[in-house]
Structure 1
Amino acid sequence: MKSFSKWSGYLFTIFLCLSHFSELVQAESAACRPNIVLILSDDQAWNDYSFMGHEMIETPALDKLACESAVFRRGYVPVSLCRPSLMTAITGLYPHQHKITGNDPPKGMDRRKLLKHIKSVDCLPEMLGKIGYKSFQSGKWWEGNPNLAGFTAGMTHGDPKRGGRHGDLGLKIGREGLKPVFDFIDECGQDPFFLWYAPFLPHTPHNPPQRLLDKYRQYGIPIELAKYYAMCEWFDETCGQLLNHLDEKCLSQNTIVVYVTDNGWIQDVPENEQKRRQKKGRFLYAPKSKRSPYDGGIRTPIMIRWPCHIAPADYNTLVSSIDIAPTLLNAVGLKPTESMQGINLMDVMCRCGYTDRDAIFGDIYEHDMIDIDDPASSLKYRWCIQGDWKAIFPSSRLMGESPELYYIKGDPFEQNNLISEYPEHARYLLKLTDQWWDAGSQ
C-alpha cells in the first residue's frame, strides 16, 4: 500500500510538471506568434500613390512599405462601399455571405438590428483571441461595439444614441494623432496583438494641414484636387508614424503588416463656380469610382510585409480582400472557416505569383439596404475579372442597363465597352459569375 501511495505521488507530480510544461510551451508559442497590423485606407483610388505611378501625390511611407512587401498591384475589394467592404476584411466573406450589403438599414429601421450579422459570423479578432491575441480597433467601424467581433479593446462605442454609426470616437485616430494605438501596442508586452488601423483618411471632410494643402496648391490644380491630394499624403504620414513606432519598439521583424483600401475614390471637379456652390457639402466623387462596379471603385493595391518570411516582390496576380483573412489565419497556424472562399496568398508567393483560381468576383449594392436579410433585394451589379477581361452584369432590378465588357489591360479606366464585339466572351464570364453566385436563384 505504501509502495502504491509512493508511485501515485510520483505520477501526480509528473502530471503537474507536464501540465506546467504544456502551459510554458503554450506561452512560448504565443510569444513567438507574429503580431498583425491591418492598415485600411478610406476612399482612395488604386493609382493615388507614388509607388502606383501617380505623378503628383507623394506617399513616401507607403512607398517604403511597398519596397519591403509583397505587392499585389491588381488587388480588388468585392464591393465599392465602406461598410460591406470592411465587413469583408474582418470576416473573409463576400457581402452576400455576411449580409452587410450597404452602409445603412432601410429608412426608419433601428440600425442596431443589423448587428445580428456580425454576431453570426466568425471574425478575425475573435478567432485570434482563442490563441492568445489581444486586439484593438481604431478608426472606421460600423458594427456596434467592437467587442461583438472579438476585439479586446477599441476606440469606438457604437451606441446610436451617442452618435454611433461608422466609428464615432474611433474616427479621431490619425487625424488627432496615434496615441491610443501606441498605448495599446506598448501595453501588449510579450502578448501577440492584432491592430485594426482604419483612419478616416483620406475620406471627406477634405481638411488637410495647411502645409500640405499649400504644397499641392502650388501646382495650379483645382482646389478640390489639391485638398484630396493633400489628404492622401496626410494619411501616408500617419502610416509612417505607425510603422516607425513598430521599428522603435523592435516589433517590425515579428509583425505582419497588411495594407488595403476599403474602396476607391476619384475626385470630382465642378466645371465652374456655380456647380461648385451647388455641390458644396456633398460627396464629390466621380461616377466611375465609389459605389460603382468600375476599377475606380473596387481596385486597390494589396501589400503584405513580414520580414524573413516574405520576400519583397511585385505580383500581377489577381487577388481580392477576401484573401486577407485566410492568409492571416494560415500564417498563425489557424484554419480558415469553410465559408471563406479566399486563398492563402502565402501559397501564391511560394508559387511565384501563380494561382489555380480562374477568376475573381464581386457585387455592388444600394447604399441603404432594402431587406437586411436578403442581399439580392439590394443588388445592383455583379462583376467578374478573368485574366485581362472584366465583365459587369446589372441586376434585373436596374431597368434599361445592359452588361458591359472591358479589356482592362489596354483600357484600365474602362472607356471602351466591347460587349457588342465579343458577346460570346461576355456570356462565358456570366456563366462563371452565376457559378460563383446566382443571385436570381436566391
Structure 2
Amino acid sequence: MYLCLLLFFMKKLYILSIIAFLPILFLRCNKTETPPNIVLFVVDDMGWQDTSVDFFEQTTDFNHMYETPNMERLARQGMKFTQAYATPICSPSRVSLFTGTNASRHRVTNWTLLRDTSTDQKDTLLTYPEWNVNGIATESGIPRTFVSTTLPQLLQKSGYHNIHIGKAHFAAKDTPCEDPINMGFHVNVGGHAAGGLKSYEGVDNFGNDTIQKNIFAVPHLEEFHGKDIFVTEALTQKAIEKLQKRPKEKPFFLYMSHYAIHVPIMGDKRFVNKYLDKGMHPVEAKYASLIEGMDKSLGDLMNFLEQEELSENTIIIFISDNGGLDA
C-alpha cells in the first residue's frame, strides 16, 4: 500500500494546483521523518470519461470503451477528486499547476510556442489584451512573462531531487524556462518549448529530421531513434532509469508528463488491434491505444516503486491538463 496515494482527476476540464497541496505534505512529516516522494503523473488532453474508471454518479458508455487497469488500481488505493477545473488548453493549466495561480492572474491564456508571438486566432473586430505569451519566467527581465517561484524550486529548497520527464510547454522558445532545468529541475528528458510532437514513433526519430529539426520534434531521446518503440514507452524507460540513478539520500519529485494523448492521433501497435477488433472507428481505436499506453506507463512506475520498496513513502497524483477528443 502507498502511504498516501491521491488520484486527482477532474470532472470536466481538469487541474488542481499542487502548490496549495504542499503544506499538507510537510505537515504530515516531523523533523525525524523522511519527506514523501512525489510522482506527479500528467496526461495530455485526456477527457474525464476517457478511462475505465468512472468519475460520475455511474459508469458512462465511454468508460466501457477503454481499458485502463492501472488507473483502476490507483483509484482503488487512493482517492478520486471529481470537482476541480482547468483551462481548456495546455499552457495555462500547466502554468497554474506550477505557480499556484489561475489564468486571470498569470495571464497565460493560450498555448505558447514562439517568443513574443501570440497563438490567439486573428479577429477583425477584437483587440486582445497584452497576454503573457512567453509563459513562465523565474526572474524578471523577459517581457510578457509571468514571474514566479515555481513548484520544483520550492521542492528543491526542501531538499528534493527533481526529475522532469516528457512534455514541458511552460514557456516560449528562446526564453529560459523553455528548459525545465531553469525552473528548478535537476534532470530534464523530453521537455522543451513545444507542447505537441511531430511523431510518437522511434522509427521516425520522434520527428527529429536529419536535415532540419522540426520544432515539434521530441528532444533527448536519441538512443531510441530508428527503433520500434513508442514515445510513451521510451519516456517511461527514461523515468525509471533516472529514478534508479537518483541520489538515494534525498526524496524525489518525478514530474511524469506524457505527450500522449495529444495529436497526432497515432496508434500504439501494442494495443490498437484490440480496439479495432471491438469495432471502434480507426481514429477512436488509435486514441484508445494511446490511452492504454499511458495506463501501462502508470502501471510500470507503480510496479517499480513497489519493487524498490518506495511505495510506502510515495504520493502519486494523476491529472490531465484539459479535456479530450470526444469525452
For the aligned pair, the TM-score class normalised by the smaller chain equals 0.5 to 0.7
Q: Quick one: which amino acid aligns to residue 88 of structure 2?
A: S
Match of 1:121 in 2: 148
Of the candidates 82, 92, 95, which is equivalent to residue 84 of structure 1? 92
Partner Cα separation in structure 2 for residue 49 and residue 206 of structure 1? 17
Partner Cα separation in structure 2 for residue 197 and residue 184 of structure 1? 11
Of the candidates 44, 60, 77, which is equivalent to residue 68 of structure 1? 77
Higher RCO (C-alpha under 8 Å, 6+ residues apart)? 2
2:95/2:136 contact within 8 Å kept: no
Q: Work out which of the two has the higher radius of gyration on C-alpha atoms and give 1 or 2.
A: 1
Partner Cα separation in structure 2 for residue 169 and residue 92 of structure 1? 29
RMSD: 3.1
> What is the identity percentage for the equivalent residue pairs of Structure 1 and Structure 2?
26
Secondary structure of 2:111's counterpart equals: coil
Match of 1:264 in 2: 323
2:166/2:257 contact within 8 Å kept: yes
2:257 corresponds to 1:198: yes
Match of 2:175 in 1: none
Q: Quick one: which amino acid aligns to residue 102 of structure 1?
A: N
Match of 2:243 in 1: 185
Deviation at 1:211, TM superposition (A): 4.0
Q: Identify unmatched segments of 5+ residues in structure 1.
A: 1-27, 268-295, 297-442
Deviation at 1:260, TM superposition (A): 0.6
More helix as a share of residues: 1
Render the CA deviation track for 1:288-307: whole Å, top value 9, x for unaligned: xxxxxxxx5xxxxxxxxxxx
Render the CA deviation track for 1:174-196: whole Å, top value 9, x for unaligned: 24252221122122212101111
* Matched ranges for 1:298-337 at <5 A: none
Q: 1:124 to 1:167 in 2, by over 3 A?
A: farther
1:35/1:194 contact within 8 Å kept: yes
> What number of residue pairs does the alignment pair up?
240
Q: Quick one: which amino acid aligns to residue 53 of structure 2?
A: F
Q: Identify unmatched segments of 5+ residues in structure 2.
A: 1-29, 120-131, 140-146, 172-177, 195-211, 223-229
Secondary structure of 1:74's counterpart equals: coil
Partner Cα separation in structure 2 for residue 228 and residue 98 of structure 1? 32
Secondary structure of 2:65's counterpart equals: coil
Using the size of structure 1 for normalisation, the TM-score is 0.49
Of the candidates 160, 167, 176, which is equivalent to residue 140 of structure 1? 167
Q: 1:174 to 1:88 in 2, by over 3 A?
A: same
Using the size of structure 2 for normalisation, the TM-score is 0.65
2:267/2:285 contact within 8 Å kept: no
Q: Quick one: which amino acid aligns to residue 210 of structure 1?
A: K
Partner Cα separation in structure 1 for residue 88 and residue 213 of structure 2? 28
Match of 2:12 in 1: none
Secondary structure of 1:63's counterpart equals: helix
Match of 2:46 in 1: 44
Deviation at 1:121, TM superposition (A): 0.5
Render the CA deviation track for 1:199-238: whole Å, top value 9, x for unaligned: 1112222223324111011122211111111211111111
More strand as a share of residues: 1
Q: Quick one: which amino acid aligns to residue 75 of structure 1?
A: A
* Matched ranges for 1:254-403 at <5 A: 254-267=313-326
